[in-house]
Amino acid sequence: MVRSSGVAVVGGGVIGLACAWRAAAAGFAVTVHDPAPGSGASWVAGGMLAPVTEALPGEDDVLALGVASLDRWPSFATELSAAGTDPGLRTEGTLAVAVDPADRAELDRLGEHLARLGRDVDVLRGRSLRLAEPSLGPAVRSALSVPGDLAVDNRALLAALLAACRSAGVAFEPSRCETLPPADVVVLAAGAHSGALHPALREMIRPVKGEILRLRARRGVLPPPSRTVRAVVGGRRCYLVPRDRARVVLGATQYEVGFDTDVTAGGVRQLLDDAERVLPAIGEYALEESSAGLRPGSPDNLPLIGSLEPGVLVATGHSRHGILLAPLTAEAVLALLRGGSVPPEAASAEVNRFAPAMGVSEGAPRRGNAVTHGRDERSEA
């Protein structure tokens, strides 16, 4: 049954579920509307929590937002575990590697950029690199090691969020919304599909397709690296995210082709060709799954968090970083539900940076009074 009061979260991907969990745990009456909660891009993703190794010159806000959310990840994971299900946080760190001379020049530029930003980076070469990661091929001569860049099993995370939502009292309405549902406050978090649900988002959110593979090292074949490896190969990027001792996720292509989720033969070939330069044994692995998902793209690769109109909040547009940004996004949405402002670290994601283009009204977030489980959140300090 749909509750016509309280908080309605539209979309139960990592963003909607994280917001729903935090809101319900804080006392709000929350319903998640989604025909298939825990699906979408969040199910397909690689699970890197690696803003530093992905830092691009000119994207300093993306890096700062990512680092602020990464800082919150250990306690977010601990709280999820305490709610009953381990989300599979991995703390082995990340290596950035390159293959061709031109790729190595790009890696050097990344190292210099990170040094300018004062980030902690170690360089591994030769024997120390081979000892650390014996499965890396001879074309990989050096690596930047960023111990602070983490990873999570995105599917274990979704299971943990669903369990935490249920134990916090979140209700689920298993149907697709054609329009925003009746509620005191709606949180629009339908990922790449959010643009269809509010006119202000129509030109702001676009699907960015990504293909990704899941593989398993067969008996007698060198196992995957013990930590995430991000590689530049012939000017293209790919990454390997280990899941357990034998399994690894290989991602990801990136295309702007609308709402297309077919996995193409060319996409699979590109990923495998590139990965084989980094991890030669991968050709002997079992290919367990190929899938494609739609990243919710935004004009500046930063999410859109804030009020679209009284009673309608938005949390979408997380592009390549929705898993990483879930803890900070949920914290920001809870602050808005309580009538406050987003944390200063999330200011770069505020939707009002696009206010003139979107025609959004700033101000009170509520249509009515959000119903809580016996508590009025607005009375809290």
198 binds ligand FAD (CB under 6 A): no
Question: Out of 6, 11, 224, 225, which residue is the one contacting ligand FAD (CB under 6 A)?
Answer: 11
How far apart are CB 378 and ligand FAD at their closest, in Å? 27
51 binds ligand FAD (CB under 6 A): no
296 binds ligand FAD (CB under 6 A): yes
Q: CB-wise, 119 or 295, nearer to ligand FAD? A: 295
Residue with tokens 């390997």: 240
Interacting stretch for ligand FAD, rule CB under 6 A, among 29-37, 74-82, 103-111, 217-225?
A: 29-37
**Which residues are CB-contacts of 310 (< 8 A; sequence separation ≥ 6)?**
361, 363, 364, 365, 366, 367
Strands 142-146 and 94-98: antiparallel
Give, to the nearest 10 degrees, the angle between helix 154-167 and helix 14-25.
30
Interacting stretch for ligand FAD, rule CB under 6 A, among 20-28, 38-46, 97-105, 274-282?
A: 38-46
Residue with tokens 């490896």: 229
267 binds ligand FAD (CB under 6 A): no
Q: CB-wise, 231 or 323, nearer to ligand FAD? A: 323
Binding residues with ligand FAD: total (CB under 6 A): 44
Binding positions for ligand FAD, 148-177, rule CB under 6 A: 176-177
DSSP 21-47: HHHHHTTB-EEEE-SSTT-HHHHH---
Name the H helices within the chain: 14-25, 40-44, 60-82, 101-116, 126-132, 154-167, 265-278, 322-337, 355-358
Name the H helices within 168-286: 265-278
Alpha carbon dihedral 97, 103, 107, 108, in 10-degree steps, equals 130
Q: CB-wise, 96 or 129, nearer to ligand FAD? A: 96
Interacting stretch for ligand FAD, rule CB under 6 A, among 1-9, 105-113, 129-137, 317-325?
A: 317-325
330 binds ligand FAD (CB under 6 A): no
22 binds ligand FAD (CB under 6 A): no
**Which residues are CB-contacts of 166 (< 8 A; sequence separation ≥ 6)?**
none
42 binds ligand FAD (CB under 6 A): yes
**Contact positions toward ligand FAD, by CB under 6 A?**
10-16, 33-37, 39-42, 44-48, 176-177, 189-193, 197, 210, 212, 251-252, 293, 295-296, 316, 318-324
